[in-house]
């Protein structure tokens, strides 16, 4: 058995066979030629980690890197996809070994956070926890009515992104994107059958919403989710009913950051009942606690007096986070640190002074899943 390591060129067909066997819908969604073209890209090969037995790829994890803009602070994050192991090789610790190597490589690459589109024991054992303060609802679109006169709703494709990008770029919680990112996005994003809807008045774009219909399951689709939105919240809420009618969707699942108080207010005023919660089936891990807080210095300075900020320090030794404030000191596991800093369940108890500081700083808001997410 070899690995974890990047796949070699001669192993890519074996890797593709693994992906198609475990994720059985790939052959139905894409041609073999398209998938081969994607995994032969140098960037894909560089950021994949595999276990190989006798020339056969038997376990795989793919890494991707992004930047987040959190109130103007730029934070490098990683995400993972295509986490899979051949059936006869499971329960041997291969996926754990590959993920452990990925965590080392992501940290070495300067990533501060890991965003995972999954929640299972493999991730929990590696300190990935449900986190982020969101509000959500399953919206009955039929009760919202049509868009008011003058508001135009249309479904658009990738070619419309240049008109939508400035709206997303103005968001306070967002991924940092090059303009052409949609043309080279992860191939499995299309598995979610995304729909982009633009809302405009005349030729002026006011906002957009992206709806992911989900992977077909036993002949039926999952209930669609809003994966991303940007622009005028008022225009989007007014347009949701018409979007649902045109898309043939009666109910829409919608989770958004609790920090977006304007959207919450507008949805509640439209009669939508909102509940607090986390993003379902998603987890987050802090990879580099001191690095994250270093990148968030402007965020900290906007929330703490300078003298108080100087008393505060964050350290990390292996999988233990150390937070100090003067004589106060706590040691937390990375799971506890993520719950504290990003808004997870079971937040740890802190000494009085540190608790007061944490109240002012945390949780750091997280953005929507977004078009970048895998």
Ordered structural domains, the chain, with CATH: 2-111 (3.40.630.30), 134-277 (3.40.630.30), 286-361 (no CATH)
Assign 213 a pLDDT band (cuts: 50, 70, 90).
confident
Euclidean distance between CA atoms 178 and 67, whole angstroms: 11
pLDDT digits (tens, 9 = 90+) for 251-305: 999 899 999 999 999 999 999 999 999 888 899 999 999 999 999 999 999 999 9
- Three-class secondary structure of residue 4 per DSSP: strand
- Position 82 pLDDT exceeds 80: yes
**What's residue 189's pLDDT?**
58
Residue 231, C-beta contacts closer than 8 angstroms, at least 6 positions apart: 167, 170, 199, 205, 206, 207, 208
Q: Outline where the chain has alpha helix (H).
A: 12-22, 26-29, 32-39, 42-46, 94-108, 121-124, 161-169, 233-247, 261-269, 289-295, 297-301, 306-311, 334-342, 352-361
DSSP string, 332-344: EEHHHHHHHHHT-
Token pair 């690095």 is found at 291
Question: What number is the average pLDDT over the span 69-97?
Answer: 95
Tell me the backbone φ, ψ of residue 12, rounded to 5 degrees.
Answer: -70, -35
C-alpha 168, offset from chain centre: 15
- Least confident span in 88-97, 174-183, 327-336, 355-364: 174-183
**What's residue 45's pLDDT?**
84
Report the chain's terminal Cα–Cα distance, integer Å: 28
- The number of beta carbons lying within 10 Å of the beta carbon of residue 319 is 13
pLDDT digits (tens, 9 = 90+) for 84-119: 999 999 999 999 999 999 999 999 999 999 999 899
Question: What number is the average pLDDT over the span 332-341?
Answer: 96
Helix axes 233-247, 261-269, angle to 10 degrees: 60
CB contact at 8 A, 199 and 50: no
Geometric angle at alpha carbon 72, from 70 and 74, rounded to 5°: 65
pLDDT digits (tens, 9 = 90+) for 299-326: 999 999 999 999 999 999 999 999 999 9
- The number of beta carbons lying within 10 Å of the beta carbon of residue 204 is 8
Geometric angle at alpha carbon 250, from 246 and 253, rounded to 5°: 110
**What's residue 220's pLDDT?**
47
Assign 214 a pLDDT band (cuts: 50, 70, 90).
low
pLDDT digits (tens, 9 = 90+) for 8-54: 999 999 998 998 888 765 656 666 777 777 788 887 889 999 999 99
pTM value is: 0.91
Question: What number is the average pLDDT over the span 220-245?
Answer: 88
- Position 219 pLDDT exceeds 50: no
């Amino acid at each position: 058995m070899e690995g974890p390591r990047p796949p070699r060129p001669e192993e890519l067909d074996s890797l593709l066979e693994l992906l198609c066997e475990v994720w059985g819908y790939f052959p139905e969604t894409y041609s073999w030629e398209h998938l081969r073209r994607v995994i032969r890209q140098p960037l894909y090969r560089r950021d994949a980690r595999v276990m190989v037995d006798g020339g056969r790829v038997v376990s795989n994890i793919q890494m991707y890197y992004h930047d987040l803009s959190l109130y103007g602070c730029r934070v490098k994050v990683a995400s993972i996809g295509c986490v899979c192991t051949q059936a006869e090789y499971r329960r041997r610790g291969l996926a754990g070994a590959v993920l452990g190597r990925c965590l080392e490589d992501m940290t070495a690459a300067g990533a501060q956070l890991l965003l995972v589109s999954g929640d299972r024991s493999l991730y929990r054992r590696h300190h990935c926890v449900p986190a982020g303060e969101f509000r959500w609802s399953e919206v009955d679109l039929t009760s919202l009515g049509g868009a008011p006169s003058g508001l135009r709703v249309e479904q658009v494709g990738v070619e419309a992104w240049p008109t939508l990008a400035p709206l997303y770029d103005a968001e306070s919680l967002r991924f940092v994107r090059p303009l052409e990112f949609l043309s080279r996005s992860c191939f499995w994003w299309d598995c979610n059958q995304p729909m982009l809807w633009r809302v405009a008045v005349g030729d002026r774009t006011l906002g957009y919403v992206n709806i992911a219909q989900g992977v077909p399951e036993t002949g039926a689709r999952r209930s669609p989710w809003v994966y991303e939105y940007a622009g005028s919240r008022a225009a989007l809420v007014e347009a949701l009913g018409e979007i649902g009618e045109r898309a043939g969707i009666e109910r829409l699942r919608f989770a958004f950051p609790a920090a977006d108080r304007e959207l919450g207010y507008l949805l509640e005023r439209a009669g939508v009942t909102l509940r607090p919660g986390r993003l379902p089936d998603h987890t987050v891990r802090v990879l580099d606690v001191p690095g994250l807080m270093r990148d968030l210095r402007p965020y900290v300075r906007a929330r703490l007096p300078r003298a108080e900020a100087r008393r505060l320090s964050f350290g990390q030794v292996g999988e233990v986070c150390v937070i100090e404030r003067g004589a106060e000191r706590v040691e937390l596991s990375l799971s506890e640190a993520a719950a504290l800093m990003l808004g997870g369940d079971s937040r740890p108890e802190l000494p009085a002074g540190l608790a007061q500081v944490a109240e002012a700083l945390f949780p750091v808001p997280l953005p929507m899943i977004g078009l970048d997410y895998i």
